[in-house]
A and B are shown apart, each in its own frame.
Chain A
Amino acid sequence: MHLSAHGHVTRFADRVEVISVSGDDSHWEDQLKSGWGTTRFFAAIEARKANSDLVLVDVMGAIVMSGKSQQQGLGAIVDTYAGRARNDDLGNDVSLALYKDMLRNRRIEEEIARRYTDQEMRCPVHLSIGQEAVSAGVCLALDRQDQIVSTHRAHAHYLSKGGDLKAMLAEFHGKASGCCGGRGGSMHIFDVPAGVLLSLPIVGSGIPVAAGAALAMKQRAEPHVAVAFLGDAAVEEGVFHEAANFAVLHSLPVIFVCENNLYSVYTPLKTRQPDLPLERLGRCHGMPSITADGNDAEAVLAVTRSAVARARAGDGPSFLVFDTYRWLEHCGPNYDNDIGYRTPAEFEAWRGRDPLSRMEEHLRNNGILDAGKIAALEADIDSEIDIAFKFALESPLPGPGEVNVYA
């Protein structure tokens, strides 16, 4: 029996996932070895016994429903269980908002890369080009009072959440008008009114801080949520599991967003972790966990909305894995596919799945965008970027003197 899960993406709805069961009987062991997981494996066996080809499994591996796809359809089963209508079509306004956010982040990052050699931005920069769909989709699902905690690769998260562009660029330039007054550099950007609580450059360090923000929200009975952005390496840190355990135990309104870009600096995921789905690490703590296409902003938005709704309802945390790819070097403005840690072919394959181009194509096909409208959007963004860089360059450096060590 071949167990097909349509890639590894499964339909997410509250505490369940959907497994589709189809094909011949020859690949059972291969599927198990390939990390499909015993939960799914045994669920598939049960489904087969019950002559079903779709099965819903809860987070602890129990089958909650099964059926024939031709009778009910995948979505219908999920929606029957979740008790709500599907929302397949996010609407063109939402798609356009996602596109604009990604376009703006792309052009800001490209301009940072272009100007980096001027040596006016004298701090490390970790650019997000190629990963824009994650910040766009996640942050569009959030309200302003919701909090995010970001990482060393913080620019896109900060901007998508509504962080001030001028204050960010001024910080990169080490200026007094920077969001940290020149104390932090690019890896510590934050914006309190926008709900960018902190960015922290030690891998995993921000995860419990976001959970702690969620604890405060819960203690004050506020309807807000906190998001911890993390990378694929952060789940190797003990602190991820410590925070996840506590968040589930106390049903904290926190969402763990794992941006899997396949590399920790130059070291590939396969060198660092067994070849198993990352999402299992959330599930083993007992929280709904799903992997989605991190280069599809609509998919990111859809799963994040589910997780946000769950958190706001007091049902606790979720773990979201978004597969994506960093186009430029780990730190700095250059492409580095020539130095040998990854292949140009791999990069080209991922560039073929460019989140921005895909959304543009979708919007063009729907008649929402055309060359003229895109050019107008780009001109607006470029004008904003120019003004922000001018502000950063013209702002004064902070002088030696008062530092706020103690409140």
Chain B
Amino acid sequence: MPERARASRRLNAAAAILEATAQCMDADSSVFLMGEGVADPKGIFGTTLGLVDRFGPDRVIEMPVAENGLTGIAIGAALMGRRPVMVHQRVDFALLALEQLLNNAAKTHFVTNGVHKVPLTVRMIIGRGWGQGPEHSQVFDSVFAHVPGLKVVMPSTPYEAKGMMVAAIRDDNPVIILEHRWMHYAEGEVPLQLYETPLIGPALVRQGDDLTIVASSYALLESIEAADHISEAGIHCDLFDLRIVRPLDLSLIIASVRRTGRLVIVDTGWKMFGVGAEIMAQVTEACFHDLKASPRRLGLPDHPTPSSRGLATTFYPTAQSLAETIAALIPEAAHRLAGPIKALENLRLSVPVDVPNPAFRVPF
């Protein structure tokens, strides 16, 4: 659309998040930001840079290193009608705040029979690479999504990063944004205006009849890479960006699997007890008789994240491992997929395993 093209430009996701925050703070004086590092010279990987100069230290609160207490303070302010946005530079830091998040943030609307609202946004950044190791690169999407009352969203593109951020701030519920550090580098078209993307349902990003792929967060970027390569070999998939882990709306995905008969889910976090397990269970319950093959999950192996790149070589699902899984799922296409798989392997070997793939800066 020419209108939209004029009003948008290419941004990376970090800049899109910064813009969303600034525009929301401009539009609504009840919005304020707190976090460890929100007012420091690095500004949470650039996502809060300059905000303290623009809005002052009362609205951009450099918070003490006290995650649980400050989450409770944010909840108390939210109950009184403020719209706090809290940022954790790593999901792992937010573990200290689980009591407040899982009890008071998640349950207060229910327990007060709908009287109280908790319009709280909590950004949590998923680390990866450069030796982040066991306690700086966890995801915990399924942990937060396990608890009724929280919304859990995982943007995968700059467009969604801004749209979900705006929607989360405007939402009257506690929203946890699990934001992949490597997604920050992804570039794409981002409208200049203030807009929101809905906090419900997946988005179809590639269309095809041979199988259904569901991926979230950075795993989506790998999946797009895989989907585009296998399509050159004539294998076409419905690829869904899961977007919203809770509330989980699988109706589009179930309809897709009824048509394709094949499902692969790529988790950003651990495969065991992961979000993929829930998706697989619900889809299988809904369309068991439509399945042509057993659904498959990719995800992190059943051990903590190692620091060394030597140990991390096979830790994360990749476009290549997804293509290999698809080849196993569609045996008659295996020989046709050998070429794309080799190409994906070469692509993977062309960059170190512990830095973001530069190819993923392409438009989404």
Contacts and interface: CB of A to CB of B under 8 A. Distances in A.
Contacts of A126: none
Contact of A184 (B63, B112, B172): B112
Interface of B: 32, 58, 63-64, 66, 68-82, 99-100, 103-104, 108-117, 148-149, 151, 171-173, 247
Given A242-B66, A407-B114, A211 B79 contact: no
Contact of A213 (B70, B76, B108, B171): B76
A212 B73 contact: yes
A9 interface: no
A208 B70 contact: yes
A209 B117 contact: no
| Nearest 4 pairs of A and B residues by beta carbon | A212-B76, A242-B69, A208-B72, A181-B113
A189 B82 CA distance: 22
B69 A243 contact: yes
Contacts of B76: 149, 197, 208-216, 226
Interface string A305-343: 000000000000000000000000000000000000000
Contacts, number: 137
A180 interface: yes
A215 to B, nearest CB: 5
Given A216-B80, A219-B32, A208 B114 contact: no
Interface of A: 147, 149, 180-184, 188, 190, 192, 197-198, 200, 202, 205-217, 219, 226, 238-239, 241-243, 245-246, 249, 403-407
B145 to A, nearest CB: 13
Contacts of B69: 207-208, 211, 238-239, 241-243, 245-246
B172 A407 contact: yes
A183 B72 contact: no
B77 A213 contact: yes
Contacts of B81: 216
A226 B77 CA distance: 11
A216 B32 CA distance: 10
A295 B323 CA distance: 73
B110 A209 contact: no
Contacts of A245: 64, 66, 69
Given A181-B113, A183-B111, A200 B173 contact: no
A192 B80 CA distance: 10
A58 to B, nearest CB: 23
8 contacts: A181-B113, A198-B112, A198-B116, A205-B104, A208-B71, A210-B76, A211-B69, A242-B70
Most chain B CB inside 10 Å of its own CB: which residue of A181, A213, A239: A239
A215 B117 CA distance: 17
B66 A180 contact: no
Given A242-B66, A246-B63, A407 B73 contact: no
Contacts of A182: 113
B318 to A, nearest CB: 36
Contacts of A208: 68-73, 75-76, 100
Contacts of A238: 66, 68-69
A3 B279 CA distance: 70
Nearest to A404: B114
A249 B74 CA distance: 15
A180 B115 CA distance: 9
Contacts of A202: 99, 103
A205 B82 contact: no
Given A207-B72, A215-B73, A249 B64 contact: yes
B73 A243 contact: yes
A210 B75 CA distance: 9
A251 to B, nearest CB: 12
A208 B66 CA distance: 11
Given A183-B112, A184-B112, A407-B173, A209 B70 contact: no
A209 B109 contact: no
Nearest to B69: A242
B103 A242 contact: no
A210 B69 CA distance: 11
B108 A198 contact: yes
A217 B80 CA distance: 8
B35 to A, nearest CB: 13
